[in-house]
Amino acid sequence: MQDDVTRLVVVGNGMAGIACLEQILKHARPFSVHVFGDEPHVNYNRILLSSVLAGEKSDSAIVLNDAGWYERHGVILRRGVRIDSIDLDARTVSGSDGSATGWDKLVLATGSSAFLPPIEGLNKDGVFAFRNLDDTRALLERSRPGLPAVVIGGGLLGLEAARGLQVQGCQVTVVHLMDTLMERQLDSAGGRYLTDKMERMGIRVLLGRQTRAVLGNGHAEGLRFADGETVEAGLVVVAAGIRPNAELARRAGLKVNRGVVVNDYMETSHPDVFAVGECVEHNGVYYGLVAPLLEQGKVLAATISGNRGPRFEAVAPAATLKIMGVDVFSAGETGAEPGEADVIRYEDPSLGIYKKLVLRDSRLAGVILVGDTSDSGRYAGWLRQQTDLSAQRRQLLFPPPSQDQGFDVASIADSETVCGCMGVSKGSIIQAIHEKGVNTLAQLKETTRASTSCGSCTTMCRQILQAVAPEFEDQVRRTICKCLPFTEDRLREMLRGQQIKSVQEVLDIYGNGAGCEVCKPALSYMMDMLWCGGHDEDRSARFINDRVHANIQRDGTFSVVPRMRGGVTSPGELRRIADAADKYNVRMVKVTGSQRIDLLGVRKEDLPRIWADIGMPSGQAYTKGTRMVKTCVGTDFCRFGTQNSIQAGIELERRLENLFTPHKVKMGVVGCPRNCAEATVKDIGLVGQEGSWQVVVGGAAGKSVRKADLLVTVETTEAALEAAEIFFQYYRENANYLERTYDFVERLGIEKIRKETVYAAEPARRQLLSRLHKAKQYARDAWLEGTQPVDPTQFIQIQPLETAYR
Amino acid sequence: MTSHQWIRITDAANIPARQGRAVTVSGRELAIFNLGDRFVAIENSCPHRGGPLCDGIVTGTSVVCPLHGWKVDLDSGAVERPTLADCVATVPARVEDGIILLDVSALAAQQRVTAA
Ligand code: SRM
Ligand SMILES: Cc1cc2nc3c(=O)[nH]c(=O)nc-3n(C[C@H](O)[C@H](O)[C@H](O)COP(=O)(O)OP(=O)(O)OC[C@H]3O[C@@H](n4cnc5c(N)ncnc54)[C@H](O)[C@@H]3O)c2cc1C
Ligand code: SF4
Ligand code: FES
């Protein structure tokens, strides 16, 4: 029989089996390939189940090989079919559907199952494992706000399950047998930092508890521990470890200890049966993380396709906790204490950062990073290559002062794996850059899958891009301030997924708990934008202007600018303004540069009354929000007018007023290209012409002058207004705080903005509009607080209950 | 030795968490802050150009002046700028039966010093 006409059967349609099959198909073309998977799904990224549970990813977003992939490669996938037995003599496998399938070469890739500790009542309704997509769906279905949920097990999996359930609204407790969370990866100090983070997030952590029984009548209601203590639990997740699925192999007569025993070539005790993945035991070790399993797959692919030679070598895999904002990285030997090895530690309790490096003979033996994992790539590299660190002893905890960005990159071999999760080597990244024209991290993710799972290789990927890609533009952005160690992009992503609705909560969980004048207003904006106004408003996080809805001036008084839509007013309004100016001794009444009127020098306690007297809404002249729409007279009066600019301007102002933005948004609408209201130097401008409108964005005539870019030309006024609304919302969602449109448009480029706004697919445009409209529903004229203050002393000075005697 | 002179100012509920409010006592304008676990009081005038400190954003145990961003430590009254020795007067505060009290004796003493 020839090697290339064998019938290949793979048992297990999971990550290791299919990754190995992908490799085999590169080497050889078997006569037939059957894959049996007892799950009803195609191969998906199991790692990302945590993200599915936390609502960050959809089911379809984690598919690794879709049905088309199997088809294209002539692989027959038998989903939902379990292999019950193997006949080594007849060379067949029999499936749960009664089928018998012959093989010449057999690959076992059955993975593992949740280890179930001896706890009474695990069969009760409401007790789950967290291993596959169906478990995840069941958990999503069961979880609901307020439900007390308990996760048994404080390892990687248990903590990720806990956070996911919490995001779904459950009241979560993690129960751990040991005294340290993730004790296999952390030392006790690292564990304390992690416990602290979890508790600050609102997840209760009970350490040193041995669970004895699930309580409840048929349905889980609580847990009882060895010491008799009990906790309430309507939902229980068992994440106490894994057990290799080796029963099938054992019954067939293959050599099995805890897992299916293989040698360095991934061969089992039968010459034509091989095994790969979590079901395998190699030199007494079985692995529960993807990176080494993918290595096994490569070795097996070589063996099975007649290129026997590469050997699987034991590795110390690195672990990353995938909870957004709770950054934990651990690799190698981490438990060593000073005295046993060189131990270097760094702690910042207020920011929750803990780092520990274990060195032996000036080489890195282990590393723990909690709270800040930005340097994990560098440490992983040192660990892998066993770099001699004698010369860098003083800089181990800080980024290298290296001028040459390419240095780190140049020092790794092409064959070396960069993305452990997806098994992508440095060579294949470079190949993608050259052959597929990859220039950005996003493109790299799309073409190679690198950096799509746990994210710990992102820094390294970025460095390679920087060194190799001709047109690489780094998308890194600065963090807001020192209180919070995240970029705004990352924060938005984190908060969106995690149902955090108040500024103080963000600071408590992710920051130093205090916040400052820089991050508090920025976070306030982010909360308002993400929850479309449905956040928990915290006035202490707002600048004074946004507490009293007026602009503070040099003497501590305030200015009042009522909304005058489109710059159009009436005798009645002007009379009321004039009367109020007299009544409150306003120091100056001034026509502003934005076509409206400013009353300057009003005392804080007079604000509510002056607003009431004027009887006009707030012009938001004091805040980062919709300022105004300047208009020209247009077709109604002007002999050159081609469009009704006043009407369009007033309508635009109505649609966007009372909304907040990353920085102020000023607009203009003009009836013809003579541009009398300066629309082409506004954040958003509508320029009328015969039979159409040009919608322009990103203009400026302030600190700098910039002519706005053309976003789109449309025929009707409604279409022009809608284009403006779509851009407005896109700016709200994507700009950094205090980034005016002129910087934003320049940074992203108008082509990209067009693609993602006016030229985006219909559903994407609808979604932008519907989020805008939702925010608009919550939006209120801030001056209504004049009669309904948010607290009794919002505008007034405190009057002492008694006076001092002398 | 000066004897304390605690006077009752206002219901603690009148000052929201992490915010400040102004009050005039003995002709001096003070700013009282609610730090969540305690109340503190300082003179309501920024040493830079007299900005109303009660309107500033609280960061930890400091307040940031709303006019030009000077940062004043609420416990010591010191301005957190390396080269400056400016300082704001602080006034002892405590809460009793839900009412904020200020010890204005310190204030009187400081006033006397200034007057002298
Ligand atoms: C009142 C007004 C001047 C006037 O009397 O006309 C004014 C007053 C202030 N402007 Fe302005 N700007 C005013 C029109 C403008 C205009 C003209 C316009 O809107 O068409 C511009 C140029 C266009 C623009 O916005 O870019 C303008 C560009 C600025 C800038 C520079 C913005 C930039 O990024 O280039 C600032 C500073 C900032 O925002 O960082 C600023 C900041 C300010 C502040 C808010 C300074 C501050 O933070 O306290 C001033 C408040 C004074 C006060 O005590 O009330 N003001 N300011 C105008 C109020 C308009 C309104 O009705 O809302
Ligand atoms: C929630 C979660 C998060 C994780 N996070 C990470 C992480 O961040 N980083 C990391 O490196 N690893 C992580 N892991 C572990 C990683 O997913 C596994 O190491 C990897 O999936 C193992 O691959 P495998 O192919 O060996 O097993 P699996 O992916 O489990 O695939 C085995 C498949 O075989 C099927 N099967 C078993 N027996 C039979 C049979 N008799 N007949 C037919 N089919 C059968 C199983 O149902 C399963 O579909 C995580 C795991 C989980 C559950
Ligand atoms: S230009 Fe604007 S910011 Fe400058 S002084 Fe005049 S009003 Fe104030
Ligand atoms: S007045 Fe306070 S910083 Fe200028």
Q: What is the pLDDT of residues A203-237, one digit of tens each?
A: 999 999 999 999 999 999 999 999 999 999 999 99
pLDDT value of residue A1: 39
How do the domains of chain A map onto residue ranges?
A: 6-114+244-304, 127-240, 325-389, 479-542, 633-780
In which region does residue A740 sit, left (phi positive, over 0), alpha (psi from -120 to 50) or beta (all else)?
A: beta
Which one of B7, B60, B67 has the shortest CB-CB distance to A514?
Answer: B60
A322-364 residue pLDDT tens: 887 788 999 998 888 888 889 999 998 888 899 999 999 999 9
Our answer on whether the CB atom of B68 is closer than 6 Å to any ligand 4 atom is yes
Inter-chain touch A544–B66, beta carbons under 8 Å: yes
Q: What is the amino acid identity at position A60? A: S
**Chain A environment of B39 (Cβ under 8 Å):** none
- Cβ atoms of B59 and A517 within 8 Å: the answer is yes
Tell me which residue has its CA closest to atom 4 in ligand 4. B68
On the question of pLDDT at A139 being above 60, the answer is: yes
Query: Which pLDDT score is estimated for A428?
Result: 87
What is the structure's pLDDT at A407? Answer: 55
Cβ pair B19:A540 closer than 8 A: yes
Closest CA to A62 of A73, A72, A48: A48
Asked whether the beta carbons of residue B24 and residue A556 sit closer than 8 angstroms, the reply is: no
pTM of the model: 0.70
In the prediction, which pLDDT does A182 show?
95
Pocket of ligand 4 contains residue B39 by CB under 6 Å: no
Nearest to B23 among A540, A547, A797 (CB): A797
**Using an 8 Å Cβ cutoff, are A606 and A629 in contact?**
no
Q: What radius of gyration do chain A's Cα atoms show?
A: 32
Q: Please name which of A217, A326, A260 lies closest in space to residue A110, comparing C-alpha atoms.
A: A260
Res. B115: pLDDT tops 50? no
Beta strands in A663-715 (DSSP E): 665-670, 684-689, 692-697, 700-701, 705-706, 709-714
Q: Could you tell me the CATH superfamily of domain A325-389? A: FAD/NAD-linked reductase, C-terminal dimerisation domain (3.30.390.30)
For residue B84, give the ligand nearest its CA.
4
Cβ contact (<8 Å) for A801 and B5? no
User: Could you identify the atom of ligand 4 that is nearest to the CA of residue B70?
Assistant: 3
Whole-number percent of chain A with pLDDT over 70: 97
Pick A800's closest partner by Cβ from B15, B23, B52: B23
- Res. A620 pLDDT band, cuts 50 70 90: very high
The model's pLDDT over A736-759, given as tens digits with 9 standing for 90+, comes to 999 999 999 999 999 999 999 999
Please indicate whether residue B72, judged by its CB atom, sits closer than 6 Å to ligand 4.
Answer: no
Mean pLDDT of A133-157: 94
Two tokens, residue B45: 């005038």
Check CB contact of B99 with chain A, cutoff 8 Å: yes
| Distance to chain A for B77, nearest Cα, Å | 18
Is B106 an interface residue toward A (CB < 8 Å)? no
Burial A309-347 (b: 16+ CB within 10 A, else e): ebebeeeebbbbbbbbbbbbbbbbebbbeeeebbbeeee
Q: Which chain B residues are Cβ-neighbours of A552 within 8 angstroms?
A: 52, 55, 66-67
Instruction: Locate the chain B residue with the closest alpha carbon to A521.
Output: B57
Q: Quick one: tokens of A337?
A: 């204490």
Give residue A638 CA to ligand 1 midpoint distance, Å. 28
A277: Cβ below 6 Å to ligand 2?
yes
pLDDT digits over A402-459, tens only?
444 455 677 777 888 888 777 788 888 888 888 888 888 878 887 888 887 777 787 7
Give B-chain residues touching A791 at CB under 8 angstroms. Answer: 14, 16
Around Cβ A531, how many Cβ atoms within 10 Å? 19
Band of pLDDT at residue B109, cut at 50, 70 and 90 = low
Contacts of B59 in chain A (CB under 8 A): 514-517, 520
A801/B8 touch (CB, cutoff 8 Å), yes or no? yes
Which of A181-185, A188-192, A295-299, A386-390 has the weakest average pLDDT?
Answer: A386-390
Residues of B in contact with A544 (CB under 8 A): 55-56, 66
Please tell me the distance in Å from A548's CA to the nearest CA on chain B.
Answer: 10
- Asked if pLDDT for residue A375 goes beyond 90, the answer is no
Q: Which of B24, B55, B70, B71 would you mutate first to test chain A, the one with the most A CBs within 10 A?
A: B55
The torsion defined by the Cα of A71, A76, A81 and A83, in degrees rounded to 10, comes to -150
> In the predicted model, what is the mean pLDDT of residues B9-30?
95
What's domain A127-240's architecture? 3-Layer(bba) Sandwich (3.50)
CB contact under 8 A, B50 and A556: yes
Query: Any idea which architecture A6-114+244-304 has in CATH?
Result: 3-Layer(bba) Sandwich (3.50)
Residue A228 and residue A351: Cα distance in Å, rounded? 37
Q: Is the pLDDT of residue A476 over 70?
A: no
Q: How far is the CA of A594 from the centre of ligand 1 (A)?
A: 9
Q: With CB atoms and an 8 Å threshold, state whether B104 touches A804.
A: yes
- What is residue A102's predicted lDDT score, i.e. its pLDDT? 95
Say if residue B116's pLDDT is above 80.
no
Q: What is the mean pLDDT of residues A506-511?
A: 85
Of B8, B22, B99, the CB nearest to A797: B22
CA distance A724 to A708: 13
Q: Are A600 and A587 in contact (CB under 8 A)?
A: yes
Q: From CA A131, how far away is CA B70, in angstroms rounded?
A: 54
**Cβ within 8 Å, pair A552-B66:** yes
Q: Are A510 and A484 in contact (CB under 8 A)?
A: yes
- What pLDDT was estimated at residue A473? 66
Q: Cα separation of A791 and B15, whole Å?
A: 8
For A:548-577, CB contacts with B below 8 A are: 552, 554-556
**Of the ranges A6-15, A256-265, A385-394, B19-28, which one carries the lowest mean pLDDT score?**
A385-394
Closest ligand, as measured to the CA of A132: 2
Q: Does the fold of domain A127-240 match that of domain A6-114+244-304?
A: yes
Element (H, E) at A309: none
Least CB–CB distance from B66: residue in A516, A543, A800: A543
* B108 touching A (Cβ < 8 Å): yes
Cβ of A289 less than 6 Å from ligand 2: yes
3-state secondary structure of A138: helix
Residue A401 has pLDDT above 60, yes or no: no
Q: Does the structural domain B6-109 have CATH classification 3.40.50.12280?
A: no
Helix (H, G, I), strand (E, B) or coil at A773: helix
Shortest-distance ligand to the CA of residue A600? 1
Sign of CA dihedral B102, B104, B105, B111: positive
A653 CA distance to ligand 3 centroid (A)?
24
Least CB–CB distance from A800: residue in B10, B17, B49: B10
The Cα A156–Cα A241 span in angstroms is 10
Strands B90-91 and B39-43: antiparallel
Percent of chain A with pLDDT over 90: 72
Both tokens of A93, joined, read: 């496998």
Interface contact B64, partner A, CB < 8 A: yes
Average pLDDT, chain A: 91
Three-state secondary structure string covering A570-625: CHHHHHHHHHHHHHCCCCEEEECCCCCEEEEEECHHHHHHHHHHHCCCECCCCCCE
Q: Are B25 and B102 in contact (CB under 8 A)?
A: yes
Whether residues B49 and A554 touch (CB distance < 8 A) is answered with yes
A440 vs B58: CA distance, rounded Å: 40
CA pair distance A482, A504, nearest whole angstrom? 16
The DSSP symbol for A377 reads: H
The pLDDT value given to residue A209: 95
Q: What is the CATH code of the structural domain delimited by A633-780?
A: 3.30.413.10
Give the pLDDT confidence score for residue A230 in this predicted structure.
95
Residue pair A392/A430 in contact (Cβ under 8 Å)? The answer is: no
> What is the mean pLDDT of the segment spanning A366-388?
86
The minimum CA-CA distance between B49 and chain A, rounded to whole Å, is: 8
User: Residue ranges of the domains in chain B?
Assistant: 6-109
Look at residue A5 and tell me whether its pLDDT is greater than 80.
no
Specify the pLDDT at position A695.
98
> B73 in contact with A at a CB cutoff of 8 Å?
no
Higher pLDDT, A324 or A600: A600
Residues with Cβ within 8 Å of residue B55, at least 6 apart in sequence = A544, A547, A552, A556, B20, B66
Hey, is A73 helix, strand or coil? coil
Q: The tokens 């992690």 sit on which residue? A: A194
Instruction: Check residue A666 and give its pLDDT.
Output: 98
Which pLDDT value is given to residue A592? 97
Tell me: pLDDT of A4 over 80: no
For residue A125, how many other CB atoms are within 10 A of its CB? 11
Check residue A392 and report its DSSP letter: G
Residue in A521, A554, A798 nearest the CB of B67? A554
A516 contacts in chain B (CB < 8 Å)? 57, 59-60, 64
B107 to chain A: which residues are within 8 Å by CB?
804
Q: List pLDDT tens digits, range A51-78.
A: 899 877 888 889 999 999 999 999 999 9
Give the pLDDT of residue A145.
85
Residue A568 is predicted with a pLDDT of 97
Phi, psi of A598 (to 5 degrees): -115, 130
Per-residue model confidence (pLDDT) at position A109: 98
Ligand 1 pocket: which residues have CB below 6 Å?
A 551, 553, 559, 561, 590, 592-594, 596, 598, 621, 627-628, 666, 700-703, 740
Q: What is the pLDDT of residue B113?
A: 39
Best CA proximity match to A179, nearest among A203, A210, A151: A210
The helix/strand/coil state of A226 is coil
Q: Is A439 helix (H, G, I), strand (E, B) or coil?
A: coil
Whether residues B25 and A514 touch (CB distance < 8 A) is answered with no
